[in-house]
Amino acid sequence: MTPARAHAPRPFLGIVGFGAFGRLAARHLAGSFRILAFDPAPEARSEPGVVLADLPRVASCPVVVLAVPVGRLRETVAQVAPHLRPGALVLDVGSVKMEPARIMAEGLPPFVDVVATHPLFGPGSARDGIAGLKIAVCPLRGRSGRRAAAFLRRALGLDVILTTPEAHDREAALAQGLTHLIARVLVRMEPLPHRITTRSFELIREAVGLVRHDAPEVFDAITRANPYAAEVRRTFFALAAALDAELGAAREERGPDAQGPRMTPIRS
């Protein structure tokens, strides 16, 4: 992922999957590349500086970004593989990395470089720009991984984290999986207070707002496709249940007069 010099034409970059994140990527990459995009949805709309094209043309670009949900990655890899050119760089942007890494290693031809990435942000958290935001980069095949990382750091101002798919999924299961899990619970507890709040609560509410409109496929990938997510979820709920039991025991020790008012159950 190396942009052209000022005196040379910008290279082509293809984006397969032109949903919310594909459009976000195009807006920030259009200054360095000529963007071609493909999306099978008939209502897919373009962005300034982006040309919608058919899949063979998009997949024949020297850089191809697979911006599709993790659940659709295998079929997408099979569709783009016949059209890839030798020496091309192929990247994904999924929220988990171990399974996408396996899919791309197995399904992409050996003559292309492969890098698994996870931008640790979405359209909500990137509304004020992406400079300083984090992206995980996992070089899988070829020599383009570190060049791509250098471009993301230098041209886009991203905080690049070079890692492996396994290390990524281990940390993301807690850092991202737990955030989305708590957000999903709090959404079901709405309406949340807006007047009598603390700064810490406002930060929690802000975090909920950043992920509440994510596509269902994103939540599914984070909570189900990550092989470490289930253990994090079990640990969290077990500790929450233990804390609830401790608080219940403390109330019983203080006696019935210390029980306090009963809250009306919140229906989801």
The total of structural domains in the chain comes to 2
Same domain, 133 and 230: no
In a domain, 1, yes or no: no
| Alpha carbon distance 55, 37 (integer Å) | 8
State whether 33 and 90 are in the same domain: yes
Task: Strand 89-92: give its sheet, edge to edge.
Answer: 50-52, 34-38, 12-16, 63-66, 89-92, 113-119, 134-141, 159-162
Q: Which of 163, 195, 223 is at the close of a domain?
A: 163
195: in domain: yes
Say if residue 56 is in the same domain as residue 185: no
- Pairwise pLDDT comparison (32 vs 261), residue with the higher score: 32
In terms of domains, do 40 and 153 share one? yes
Per-residue CA distances from 94 to 7, 21, 137, 151, 197 (Å): 34, 10, 11, 19, 35
Q: Within a domain: residue 2?
A: no
Q: Identify the band that residue 6 occupies on the pLDDT scale cut at 50, 70 and 90.
A: low
Residue 118 belongs to domain with CATH number: 3.40.50.720
Is residue 33 over pLDDT 50? yes
For range 13-20, the mean pLDDT: 96
pLDDT at residue 77 tops 90: yes
Distance CA 129, CA 132 (A): 9
Shared-domain flag, residues 76 and 158: yes
The residue range of the domain holding 203 is 173-255
The pTM (predicted TM-score) of the whole model is 0.84
In a shared domain, residues 28 and 143: yes
pLDDT at residue number 156:
97
Tens-digit pLDDT profile for residues 127-149 = 899 999 999 999 999 999 999 99
Domain boundary among 140, 163, 186: 163
The answer on 100 and 183 residing in a single domain is no
Instruction: Convert the chain into a string of H (helix), E (strand) and C (coil).
Output: CCCCCCCCCCCEEEEECCCHHHHHHHHHHCCCCEEEEECCCCCCCCCCCEEECCHHHHHCCCEEEECCCHHHHHHHHHHHHHHCCCCCEEEECCCCCHHHHHHHHHHCCCCCEEEEEEECCCCCCCCCCCCCCEEEEEEEECCHHHHHHHHHHHCCCCEEEECCHHHHHHHHHHHCHHHHHHHHHHHHCCCCCCCCCCHHHHHHHHHHHHHCCCCHHHHHHHHHHCCCHHHHHHHHHHHHHHHHHHHHHHHHHHCHHHCCCCCCCCCC
Is the same domain home to 28 and 151?
A: yes
198 domain residue, yes or no: yes
pLDDT digit string (tens) for 210-267?
Answer: 888 788 888 888 999 999 999 999 999 999 999 999 999 877 777 665 555 555 555 5
- Above 60 in pLDDT, residue 51? yes
